[in-house]
């Protein structure tokens, strides 16, 4: 989509939204001053109003109030792009090339063939930007100033990547899979957004090329006609509008692998490591850290003293499974078990709720998730220059009157 088309499309979306809507001041709490000016709602074509972070490339965040259901609706799902030229691809003309120097039988597949000639599988998985909550970093760090909503949970349907690679005859000398989408930079000098994943992750049965999202064709803004799904890993690897997958015998050295999306080595408790891309100083970000979110109570909210208050939220991690969610109503001095809701799979949001009767006065509500790997949300930010993996326990102040 070129600039003129994009602006025309966004203008149409604005008409659907009616207007730009400033967020309540209560949602600004904890955000650096520089992010407040961008806290406005805007509707892209086909989307409900989302929090605008940037127009070009389009980056739009899901409001916390929309995470009331385990599955995030397509029209409320966040939007994240690095490059400004995003073509709208006719599904009848789309092709995916499977090749590289580590396969013996490269081929192309159309969307019809992808749907007809391979086993179809479904998985519920959280798609979360690596920089989710970056806007809450203290000290401030550069990048898209996301709040809590650069994520979503969806039911994805498609084909196992390993089945495509088997048809291509992937060899034992394959080290990584190079991934390329149809999006391009506005300038020729802009590095193409080429990512890679280790071959063992590509061969995982949960890694799929998806063409359907929540029972519908993928939306344009979320990667139509097809995108890669890498459950448990942050969304930088979930290549949208994917057109090329190459099995290669050497580590990919693109800008987006060698320079971007890296964290200091040993900073986070990741089990899945991308060793072919590691250096002595840093390593690619991989797993989603264990996290939780209060979804129905906001900063400064007034509630009725003595009446039962049901605090609800979601918890998620890299796929080790949410073991427990603890809730504090006194600023973290004491904790009690929340009730876990339906389990839609280890990569999915896990709903939870906690009921208490607040006495008159101020209360600070916090939620703390732990997973099956023994990992728990942190009290203080694990700082890194890119603002990745923010899983600091929330503190939400309310008043009972």
Task: Report the C-alpha gap between 194 and 254 in whole angstroms.
Answer: 6
- pLDDT tens per residue across span 162-218: 999 999 999 999 999 999 999 999 888 889 999 999 999 999 999 999 999 999 999
Return all residues near 304 (Cβ < 8 A) that are at least 6 apart. Answer: 400, 401
> Rg (Cα) of the chain, in Å, rounded?
21
The pLDDT of residue 122 is 98
Mean pLDDT, rounded, of the chain? 91
Res. 9: pLDDT tops 60: no
Res. 271: pLDDT tops 70: yes
Res. 2: pLDDT tops 80: no
The pLDDT of residue 38 is 52
Res. 14: pLDDT tops 80: no
Q: Is 64 helix (H, G, I), strand (E, B) or coil?
A: helix
Domain architecture of the chain: domains with CATH = 3-80 (no CATH), 95-284 (3.90.420.10), 291-400 (2.60.40.650)
The pLDDT of residue 1 is 39
Cβ atoms of residues 283 and 265 within 8 Å: yes
Give the CA distances from residue 252 to residues 180, 193, 263, 325, in Å, rounded to whole numbers and listed in that order: 12, 12, 18, 39
- pLDDT tens per residue across span 16-44: 333 344 344 444 444 444 443 456 899 99
- Tell me the H-state helices in 71-138: 111-116
The pLDDT of residue 30 is 42
Q: How much is the average pLDDT of 355-379?
A: 97
CB atoms near residue 288 (< 10 Å)? 26
How much is the pTM? 0.90
Percentage with pLDDT > 70 across the chain: 90
The pLDDT of residue 269 is 87
Strand partners of residue 127: 152
Q: How much is the average pLDDT of 334-361?
A: 98
The pLDDT of residue 187 is 84
First to last CA, the chain: 52
Strand partners of residue 124: 155
């Amino acid at each position: 989509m070129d600039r003129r088309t994009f602006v025309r499309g966004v203008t149409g979306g604005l008409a659907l939204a009616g207007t730009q809507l400033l967020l309540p001041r209560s949602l600004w709490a904890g955000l650096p001053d520089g992010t407040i000016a961008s806290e406005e709602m805007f509707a892209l074509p086909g989307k409900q109003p989302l929090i605008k972070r940037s127009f070009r490339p389009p980056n739009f965040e899901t409001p916390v109030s929309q995470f009331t259901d385990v599955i995030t609706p397509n029209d409320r799902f966040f939007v994240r792009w690095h490059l400004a030229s995003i073509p709208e691809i006719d599904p009848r003309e789309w092709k995916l090339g499977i090749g590289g120097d580590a396969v013996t039988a490269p081929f192309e597949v159309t969307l019809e063939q992808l749907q007809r000639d391979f086993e179809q599988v479904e998985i519920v998985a959280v798609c979360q930007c690596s920089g989710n909550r970056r806007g809450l970093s203290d000290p401030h760090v550069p990048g898209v100033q996301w709040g809590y909503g650069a994520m979503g949970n969806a039911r994805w349907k498609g084909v196992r990547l390993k089945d495509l690679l088997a048809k291509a005859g992937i060899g034992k000398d394959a080290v990584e899979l190079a991934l390329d989408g149809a999006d391009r930079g506005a300038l020729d000098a802009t590095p193409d957004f080429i990512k890679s994943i280790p071959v063992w992750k590509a061969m995982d049965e949960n890694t799929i090329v998806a063409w359907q999202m929540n029972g519908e064709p993928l939306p344009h803004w979320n990667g139509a006609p097809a995108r890669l799904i890498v459950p448990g890993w942050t969304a930088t690897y979930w290549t949208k509008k994917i057109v090329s997958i190459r099995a290669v015998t050497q580590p990919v050295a693109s800008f987006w692998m060698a320079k971007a999306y890296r964290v200091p080595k040993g900073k986070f408790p990741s089990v899945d490591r991308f060793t072919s891309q590691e250096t002595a100083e840093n390593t690619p970000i991989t797993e989603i850290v264990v996290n939780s979110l209060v979804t129905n109570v906001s900063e400064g909210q007034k509630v009725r003293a003595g009446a039962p208050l049901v605090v609800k939220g979601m918890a998620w991690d890299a796929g080790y499974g949410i073991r427990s969610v603890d809730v504090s109503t006194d600023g973290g001095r004491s904790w009690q078990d929340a009730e876990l809701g339906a389990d839609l799979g280890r990569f999915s949001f896990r709903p939870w709720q906690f009921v208490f009767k607040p006495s008159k006065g101020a209360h600070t509500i916090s939620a703390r998730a732990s997973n099956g790997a023994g990992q728990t949300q942190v009290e203080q930010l694990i700082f890194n220059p890119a603002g990745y993996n923010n899983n600091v326990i929330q503190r939400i102040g309310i008043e009972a009157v």
